[in-house]
Amino acid sequence: MSAAALPGTPFVHYRGEELFVEEVRLADLARAHGTPLFVYSRAAMLSALAAYQRGFAGRKARIFYALKANSSLAILQVFARAGCGFDIVSGGELERVLAAGAKGSDIIFSGVGKTRREMQRALEAGIHCFNVESEAELEVLSEVAAGLGQKAPVSLRVNPDVNPLTHPYISTGLKGNKFGIAHKDALRAYRRAAALPGLRVVGIDCHIGSQITQVSPYLDALERVLDLVAAIEAEGIPISHIDFGGGLGIVYNSESPPAADVLWQRLLARLDARGYGDRQLMIEPGRSLVGNAGVCVAEVLYLKPGEQKNFCIIDAAMNDLPRPAMYEAFHQIVPLKQSATKPVTYDVVGPVCESGDWIGRDRKLAVQPGELLAVLSAGAYCMSMASNYNTRGRPAEVLVDGAQAHVIREREDVADQVRKEKLLP
Ligand SMILES: *Cc1c(COP(=O)(O)O)cnc(C)c1O
C-alpha cells in the first residue's frame, strides 16, 4: 500500500511501513496514551479551511464552523485562531465556543428546537444571528428578545426542497424533513418576522444535507434561495446576508466530492450571473473541515474465525465510532504497521453487546491480536457523538501539530462516568 491509497488527506500517511499523522508515528501515541485514541492533524484542518478561503478570496464571505461535527475545545481554538466563526445548535455548544475564546458576534445559532433559556443566553452573548426554523420559533424568539429590550437578528432557514443525493438520515432539505421552513411558506414567514417587535431580519439560510458529493444539489438550492431573496426584497424586506449551510462531503472510500474552492467557483459564477455576487455570503461547513483530519487508533483484542464470517474484535466500538451503526457508514481500516503476511477477510467489530456494533464489514487485513489498526476519516461525527454505552469511557484525543502532539482530552474513567449519580439511602 502506498500513501496515495489512503483517503482524504496527505497528512495521514505511511512512512516506510508505519502510519504517521504529520510527523508523529501513531504507534508511539498509542503506546503513550492507550487505545482507543483519536488523533487529529491540525494541518489537515487548516488545509481544508484554506480551500474554502481560496474559494472566497476577494468576496464578502465568512465561514462558520458547524461544531457538532467535532466540538472539542482545542479544535474550536484552532478554528477560532484561523478566523472562523461558529455555527452552534445548542446552549451547550454556545458555552464551548465562548470557552474556546470566540466572541458572541462570531456565532450563529441553528436548530429546530431552541429553548427560551438557550435563546436568552445567546442574546446576552450578543450572537451574530439566529437561524430560525419555524414560524412558532419566530414568535417565541421575539418575545424573549423583547423581554430583554433587544431585537434578535434573524435569518430564516428555508427548505429549498432539493434532493442532496445522500443518505436519507443526513438529508435535511426535502419536503418531508423536520428542518427549515417550506419554500412555499417562506414569504409569509418573512412578513411575519418583519412585523414582530423583537426581531430584526438580517438574512436567509439553507442547509440541504450532509456528505454531499456533487455540485448539482448546491446549484439547485442556490437558484431556489435566490428566487426567494428576490421575492422577499420585492416586499421591502432587505436580506443582508445569504447563508448556504454546510454539507460538503469528504472521502471515506471512493467518493470524489468537489474541492471546496471548485464548488465555490461554480456557485459564485451563478451568484454573479444573477447579480448577487457582491452580497455578504456565509457558509456553515462541519464534516469537510475536520472529517479527514482525524483517525481512531484501536488495538486488535481477538481474532475469532467462524463458518460464515471471521471476526476481528478491536477495543474501539460503536460508542466511540457510531457512524457505521447509525448510518451504515464506511470508514477505511488500516494497520499501523504494514505487513507482508497474506490478508484474511474479517468483519471488524467492537466489544459492545449489540449486533449493530460493527466498524467495518468484509475487510482484508493481515493482523494479529495486540497489533494496532487505524480507523480513518474519523475526525467528524465520531468523538462528538461518542457515548458511555456499556460503561465505556470515551477515548482520549491528541492533536498533532508537525512533530508535536498535544493531549486535548484525557480518557474518561469510571469515576468521571458516575460522578453525577447517586446511590439510594
Ligand atoms: C450539521 C449542520 C451543518 C454542517 O453540516 P456538515 O455536513 O457537517 O458540513 C451546517 N448547518 C447546519 C444547520 C447543520 O445542522
Q: Is the CB of 205 under 6 A from ligand 1?
A: no
Is 245 near ligand 1, meaning CB less than 6 Å away? yes
Q: Which of 70, 167, 284 to mutate to test the pocket of ligand 1 (most atoms within 8 A of CB)?
A: 284
Instruction: Return the ligand 1 atom nearest residue 68 CA.
Output: 1
Return the sign of the alpha-carbon dihedral for residues 405, 406, 409, 413.
Answer: positive
Candidate from 109, 110, 244 with most ligand 1 atoms within 8 A of CB, to mutate: 110
Alpha helices in 235-353 (DSSP H): 260-273, 287-290, 323-327
Model pLDDT, residue 5: 63
- Is residue 200 a contact partner of residue 153, using CB atoms and an 8 Å limit? yes
Cβ–ligand 1 distance for 66 under 6 Å, the answer yes
Q: Is the CB of 284 under 6 A from ligand 1?
A: yes
Q: Which amino acid is at 340?
A: A
Predicted pLDDT of residue 76: 98
78 touches 97 (CB < 8 A): no
pLDDT (tens place) for every residue of the chain, 425 residues total = 444 468 889 999 999 999 999 999 999 999 999 999 999 999 999 999 999 999 999 999 999 999 999 999 999 999 999 999 999 999 999 999 999 999 999 999 999 999 999 999 999 999 999 999 999 999 999 999 999 999 999 999 999 988 777 766 666 766 777 889 999 999 999 999 999 999 999 999 999 999 999 999 999 999 999 999 999 999 999 999 999 999 999 999 999 999 999 999 999 999 999 999 999 999 999 999 999 999 999 999 999 999 999 999 999 999 999 999 999 999 999 999 999 999 999 999 999 999 899 999 999 999 999 999 999 999 999 999 999 999 999 999 999 999 999 999 999 999 999 999 999 99
- pTM given for the model: 0.96
- Is residue 22 classed exposed, middle or buried when 0-12, 13-18 and 19+ CB atoms within 10 A define those classes? buried
* Angstrom distance (rounded) from CA 218 to CA 262: 12
Asked if residues 125 and 105 have their Cβ atoms less than 8 Å apart, the reply is no
285 is in an annotated binding site: yes
- Taking the centre of ligand 1 as the mean of its atom positions, its distance from the CA of residue 69, in whole angstroms, is 8
Report how far apart, in Å, the C-alpha atoms of 272 and of each of 246, 269, 276, 277, 422 are: 20, 5, 6, 4, 61
> For ligand 1, what atom is nearest to the CA of residue 131?
13
Domains of the chain listed by start with CATH number:
3-41+291-418 (2.40.37.10), 110-285 (3.20.20.10)
Report which of 248, 140, 253, 126 is spatially closest to residue 198, judged by C-alpha positions: 140
Closest ligand 1 atom to residue 287 Cα is 8
Question: Does ligand 1 come within 6 angstroms of the Cβ of 207?
Answer: yes
Pick the residue whose CA is nearest to atom 3 on ligand 1: 246
What is residue 4's predicted lDDT score, i.e. its pLDDT? 44
